[in-house]
Amino acid sequence: MQILFGLVGSKHWLAGLIFFIYDLHFSLTVWSLYVHRYQAHRIIDVKPPLEQFFRLWLWLHADHGWGKRWSASHRKHHATSDSSEDPNSPQYYSLRELLTWWPLSPGKANYISPEDIQKYGKNIENHNDWIELNLYKKYPRLGLSIVCFSLILFFGLPGVIYAIIAWFWMSVIIVIIGNWAQHKIGYSVKDNKDHSKQFLPIGFLWGGEELHAGHHTYPSRANFAVNWWELDCGYLYIRLFNFLGLIRIKGSR
C-alpha cells in the first residue's frame, strides 16, 4: 500500500496535495510576471538573477518557450481586442479553435503574420544565449518530463494525476483561462471597452490573471486589481521582489 503513494508515503498525502497546488499557482505566477507583465507589457523590469530563475522554472513547467512571437500576438490582442483582427478572441473563435496551435494560417485563431510580429514585437528579442540554445530550445520538453517523472516518483498514483495536470497546465489551461474564460465569464469594470472580465475578485491560483478586465482597462498598471475588494496575488509577488531589489516597477501601481 505504501508504494502506491510513492516516496512521500500515504501519511503525507495532504502535504503533497498542498505542495502540488502551490506549484501550479507559482508556475502561472512566474508566467504572469515574466512572460505577460515583463516581456509583453514592460510594466516591470526583471533583474538578471531572477530572470534566469524564471526562465529555468518555465522550462521545467512548460513544453514550449515564450518569446517575441507570443508577446507580439498578445500586444495585437490588446490593440484589436475582441474584433475580427484579434487572433485570440473567443467572440470570433471557439475554444477548440483557440486550442489549435498548428497548423497556423491567415484567418485562423492564434495566427500572427511576420509583419505583425515586427510591428507589435518591437523591443522584444528571443533569448540567444548558451543555455537557451543548448538546453531550453534544444530539449524543450525535457524539463517538463523531469517534473512529471518526479511527481510520479514522489507521490505514486496521485502523482500520475498530478503529472497529467502538470503536463497540460501551462499550455491548455493558459488558453482556457486566458483567451476564453476571461472574455466569457465574470464581471466587467468601469471604463472597460471590450468583453474582458474579472473572472474572480481574488487572483490567487492563476497569479492574478483572474483579474483580466482590470488589466485590459489599465494595461500599464502592474496591479490588475481595480476595486478595493479585489486582490492581485501576482502584484504581491512583484512588491516582494521589488523589496528584494529583483524587480523594478515601471508601470503605474
193-202: string of b/e by CB count within 10 Å (b at 16+)?
ebbbbbbbee
- Three-state DSSP class for 80? coil
> Taking Cα atoms as reference points, which of 63, 64, 25, 33 lies closest to residue 50?
33
pTM of the entire structure?
0.92
Residue 165's pLDDT is 93
- CA gap 181, 169 in Å, rounded: 15
Note down pLDDT in tens along the chain; length 253 residues: 566 777 787 788 888 899 999 999 999 999 999 999 999 999 999 999 999 999 999 999 986 667 888 899 999 999 999 888 998 888 888 888 888 766 677 888 888 899 999 999 988 888 999 999 999 999 999 999 999 999 999 999 899 999 999 998 887 887 787 788 889 899 999 888 889 999 999 999 899 999 999 999 999 999 999 999 999 999 999 999 999 999 999 966 6
> Taking Cα atoms as reference points, which of 52, 46, 48, 36 lies closest to residue 247?
46
Query: Residue type at 183?
Result: H
- CA gap 84, 98 in Å, rounded: 14
Cell numbers of 182, please? 476571461
Q: Domain ranges in the chain?
A: 2-64+145-249, 68-125
Residue 89's pLDDT is 86
- CA gap 42, 250 in Å, rounded: 7
